[in-house]
């Protein structure tokens, strides 16, 4: 009997445990270690942040699903990995329970295969004053989004009483990613203000570390729209203009004080912008897992990059931007030092950015790090699980399945408003996510599949995806037929 341990019940890890258990059956143990008692469909936190969905609509308890499927569930945080064991033991990891019944209790969990899908640490501390515990807001978790909605209501009430409000929404660190989520939230806030006919009382500013709007951490894209090829810069700027949103670009936020954001721009100028309401996405890092050898010496650097994300089968050789290749990107997510350890979703360390690195004259790096959105994260979780299944069945590590972000597309639906008739979305698909200038010399991507369209249909799709992905995550009948 083999034992597979998966860390993190998010998009990637939850996909992995479900695929593993479906294929391995009762003969092998599949264990989920995750600190959360509930699954949350993170993309719909945007709707929680504008008061259109409740936390119950975007979350569900994990325990009944794992019990039904025979997945061993430990509500705990993974802390330390001993990939060679300790003084002669088998490989294991140390976990600390977060479940209220045994909070703080440590336990050793042995494994044959380990999948790290711990997602991002929301690194608010990297920007002084950033985050819901300090001076800005977030929609990265359901709890953050609920708090943000209460603050948005206060601003809406003030505007209804005739008071002007300035909203600043965007990225809260010079190298933050996840622009898509912040952008979607900005459009939703504008939509809600418009709906209440309060636009004359509002000033909305999109604050971003992107060199040009529409970069989205993937170096921007050329998209086919209505038969013409246009850039995501024009596409994004026209959407903001339509919503009456201004923008500040090439800005790396360095500090947030109550009501005031400080930033440096790519010209090296130190500026600030005052706000009444501000939602800013933090920098992402690894969650801080440590690794030790069989003598107990720290080998964290062998398994993890300096930012705490796990090293996988990428080419991490430092290279000049002009020498970057799509082949630098990983496709199996297997750790190079330990063939029974994998990292899927945001937990893996990308080889480099996708957007061109930029520095201010003061040496401050201001550009987005690469996004790893829901669809690729789910696909990675599935591919890693399939390779582990093959390996267990073969009795030795076997890699048959691949999923590089340079060979995979992504769909991004930036939707605003809520309901069947009330809403609009900018729908964008890119293929591949990481541009491949060898295969597609003109645009870097396949222009037949890299398209963008605004309209109500995309908004319906986003709503449909909310219900469809929650249905799948709950493992209801036919769940495995729904793609990632
Ligand atoms: C507001 C918002 C909106 C978004 N909208 C979209 C969208 O519309 N479309 C899209 O494609 N993507 C969207 N994304 C991105 C998407 O949510 C991520 O790509 C996806 O969640 C990444 O999956 P993951 O499994 O890598 O990480 P996560 O989903 O974050 O899961 C990580 C899991 O690991 C757990 N964990 C953390 N530390 C430990 C530990 N030490 N031990 C064990 N477990 C641990 C966490 O609790 C969590 O359950 C959005 C993101 C945000 C923040």
Question: Which CATH number describes the domain made up of 3-122+284-394?
Answer: 3.50.50.100
Cis, peptide link before residue 432, omega less than 30° from 0:
yes
Query: Residues with beta carbon inside 6 Å of ligand 1?
Result: 7-13, 33-36, 42-43, 45-46, 77-78, 117-119, 139-140, 178, 181, 287, 345-347, 372-375, 377
Q: What percent of the chain has pLDDT over 90?
A: 87
**Please, which pLDDT band fits residue 420 given cuts at 50, 70 and 90?**
low
Q: How far is the CA of 297 from the centre of ligand 1 (A)?
A: 31
Model confidence over 392-401: pLDDT tens digits? 999 999 999 9
* Whether the Cβ atoms of residue 2 and residue 29 lie closer than 8 Å to each other: yes
Q: Determine the length of the chain.
A: 484
Q: How far is the CA of 278 from the centre of ligand 1 (A)?
A: 22
* Domain locations in the chain as residue ranges: 3-122+284-394
What whole-number distance in Å separates Cα of residue 122 and Cα of residue 137? Answer: 12
- The DSSP call for residue 310 is B
What whole-number distance in Å separates Cα of residue 360 and Cα of residue 8? Answer: 37
Rounded mean pLDDT, 38-47? 96
Given the CA of residue 371, which atom of ligand 1 is nearest to it?
19
Given the CA of residue 375, which atom of ligand 1 is nearest to it?
11
Q: How far is the CA of 434 from the centre of ligand 1 (A)?
A: 20
Q: How far is the CA of 381 from the centre of ligand 1 (A)?
A: 12
| pLDDT over 70 at 271, yes or no | yes
Mutate to test the pocket of ligand 1, among 34, 42, 181, 464 (most ligand atoms within 8 A of CB): 42
| pLDDT over 80 at 478, yes or no | yes
- Of the candidates 334, 353, 351, the one whose C-alpha atom is nearest the C-alpha of residue 342 is 334
Atom 23 (ligand 1) nearest CA: 11
What whole-number distance in Å separates Cα of residue 314 and Cα of residue 332? Answer: 9
Q: How far is the CA of 11 from the centre of ligand 1 (A)?
A: 6
- What pLDDT is recorded for position 224? 81
Q: How far is the CA of 254 from the centre of ligand 1 (A)?
A: 25
Given the CA of residue 462, which atom of ligand 1 is nearest to it?
8
Mutate to test the pocket of ligand 1, among 9, 11, 59 (most ligand atoms within 8 A of CB): 11
Q: How far is the CA of 399 from the centre of ligand 1 (A)?
A: 25
**Please, which pLDDT band fits residue 456 given cuts at 50, 70 and 90?**
confident
Atom 10 (ligand 1) nearest CA: 374
Rounded mean pLDDT, 245-254? 98
Given the CA of residue 79, which atom of ligand 1 is nearest to it?
41
Tokens found for residue 228: 């013409």
Given the CA of residue 411, which atom of ligand 1 is nearest to it?
11
Model confidence over 317-326: pLDDT tens digits? 999 999 999 9
Model confidence over 135-191: pLDDT tens digits? 999 999 999 999 999 999 999 999 999 999 999 999 999 999 999 999 999 999 999
Atom 30 (ligand 1) nearest CA: 119
Given the CA of residue 13, which atom of ligand 1 is nearest to it?
25
Given the CA of residue 373, which atom of ligand 1 is nearest to it?
19
Given the CA of residue 281, which atom of ligand 1 is nearest to it?
53
Pick from 282-296, 305-319, 414-428: least confident: 414-428
- What pLDDT is recorded for position 30? 98
Q: How far is the CA of 128 from the centre of ligand 1 (A)?
A: 23
Q: Roughly what angle, to the nearest 10 degrees, separates helices 11-24 and 62-69?
A: 20
Q: What string of DSSP letters covers 55-107?
A: HHHHEEEHHHHHHHHT-EEEEEEEEEEETT-STTPPPEEEEEE-SGGGTT-EE
Q: How far is the CA of 400 from the centre of ligand 1 (A)?
A: 26
Rounded mean pLDDT, 201-221? 96
* Whether the Cβ atoms of residue 356 and residue 464 lie closer than 8 Å to each other: no
- What pLDDT is recorded for position 453? 75
Atom 8 (ligand 1) nearest CA: 43
* Whether the Cβ atoms of residue 360 and residue 265 lie closer than 8 Å to each other: yes
| pLDDT over 90 at 343, yes or no | yes
Mutate to test the pocket of ligand 1, among 118, 186, 470 (most ligand atoms within 8 A of CB): 118
| pLDDT over 80 at 351, yes or no | yes
| pLDDT over 70 at 279, yes or no | yes
Rounded mean pLDDT, 100-110? 96
- What pLDDT is recorded for position 258? 98
Atom 31 (ligand 1) nearest CA: 10
- What pLDDT is recorded for position 424? 72
Model confidence over 43-89: pLDDT tens digits? 999 999 999 999 999 999 999 999 999 999 999 999 999 999 999 99
Model confidence over 290-341: pLDDT tens digits? 999 999 999 999 999 999 999 999 999 999 999 999 999 999 999 999 999 9
Q: How far is the CA of 123 from the centre of ligand 1 (A)?
A: 14
- What pLDDT is recorded for position 175? 98
* Whether the Cβ atoms of residue 298 and residue 291 lie closer than 8 Å to each other: yes
- What pLDDT is recorded for position 288? 97
Sequence-ordered list of residues with C-beta below 8 angstroms from that of 281, at least 6 positions apart, any chain = 138, 140, 170, 171, 172, 173, 176, 177, 178, 179, 181, 182
- What pLDDT is recorded for position 448? 87
Q: How far is the CA of 43 from the centre of ligand 1 (A)?
A: 9
Q: How far is the CA of 347 from the centre of ligand 1 (A)?
A: 9
Atom 53 (ligand 1) nearest CA: 140
Q: How far is the CA of 10 from the centre of ligand 1 (A)?
A: 5
Dihedral through CA 295, CA 300, CA 301, CA 306, nearest 10?
-160
Given the CA of residue 78, which atom of ligand 1 is nearest to it?
42
Q: Is residue 7 classed exposed, middle or buried when 0-12, 13-18 and 19+ CB atoms within 10 A define those classes?
A: buried
- What pLDDT is recorded for position 204? 98
* Whether the Cβ atoms of residue 430 and residue 218 lie closer than 8 Å to each other: yes
| pLDDT over 80 at 277, yes or no | yes
Given the CA of residue 7, which atom of ligand 1 is nearest to it?
43
């Amino acid at each position: 009997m083999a034992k597979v341990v998966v860390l993190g019940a998010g998009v990637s890890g939850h996909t992995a445990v479900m695929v593993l258990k479906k294929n391995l059956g009762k003969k092998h143990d599949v264990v989920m270690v995750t600190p959360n008692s509930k699954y949350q469909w993170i993309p719909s936190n945007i709707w929680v942040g504008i008061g259109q969905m409740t936390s119950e609509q975007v979350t569900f308890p994990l325990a009944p699903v794992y019990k039904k499927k025979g997945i061993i569930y430990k509500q705990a945080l993974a802390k330390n990995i001993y990939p060679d064991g300790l003084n002669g033991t088998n490989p294991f990891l140390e976990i600390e329970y977060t479940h209220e019944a045994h909070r703080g209790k440590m336990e050793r969990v042995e494994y044959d295969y380990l999948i790290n899908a711990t997602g991002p640490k929301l690194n608010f501390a990297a920007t002084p004053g950033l985050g819901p515990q300090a001076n800005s807001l977030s929609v990265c978790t359901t709890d953050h989004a609920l708090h943000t909605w209460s603050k948005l209501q206060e601003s809406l009430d003030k505007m209804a009483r005739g008071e002007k409000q300035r909203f600043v929404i965007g990225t809260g660190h010079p190298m933050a990613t996840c622009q898509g989520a912040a952008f979607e939230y900005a459009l939703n806030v504008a939509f809600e203000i418009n709906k209440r006919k309060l636009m004359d009382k509002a000033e909305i500013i999109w604050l971003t570390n992107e060199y040009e709007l529409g970069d989205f951490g993937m170096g921007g894209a050329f998209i086919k729209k209505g038969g013409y090829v246009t850039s995501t810069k024009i596409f994004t700027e026209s959407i903001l203009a339509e919503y009456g949103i201004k923008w500040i670009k090439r800005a790396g936020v360095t500090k947030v004080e109550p009501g005031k954001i400080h930033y440096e721009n790519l010209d090296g100028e130190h500026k600030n912008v005052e706000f009444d309401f501000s939602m800013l996405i933090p920098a992402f890092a690894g969650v801080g897992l440590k690794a030790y050898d069989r003598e107990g010496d720290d080998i964290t650097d062998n398994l993890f990059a300096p930012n705490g994300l796990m090293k996988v089968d990428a080419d991490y050789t430092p290279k000049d931007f002009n020498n970057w290749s799509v082949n630098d990107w990983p496709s199996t997510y297997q750790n190079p030092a330990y063939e029974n350890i994998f990292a899927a979703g945001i937990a893996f360390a990308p080889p480099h950015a996708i957007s061109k690195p930029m520095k201010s004259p003061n040496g401050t790096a201001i550009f987005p790090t690469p996004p790893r959105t829901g669809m690729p994260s789910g696909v990675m979780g599935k591919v890693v699980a399939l390779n582990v299944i093959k390996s267990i069945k073969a009795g030795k590590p076997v890699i048959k399945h691949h999923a590089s972000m340079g060979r995979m597309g992504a769909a991004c639906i930036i939707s605003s408003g809520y309901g069947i008739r009330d809403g609009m979305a900018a729908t964008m698909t890119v293929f591949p996510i990481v541009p491949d200038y060898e295969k597609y010399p003109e645009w870097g991507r396949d222009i037949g599949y890299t398209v963008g369209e605004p309209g109500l249909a995309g908004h319906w799709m986003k709503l449909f995806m909310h219900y469809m992905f929650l249905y799948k995550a709950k493992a209801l009948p036919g769940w495995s037929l729904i793609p990632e």
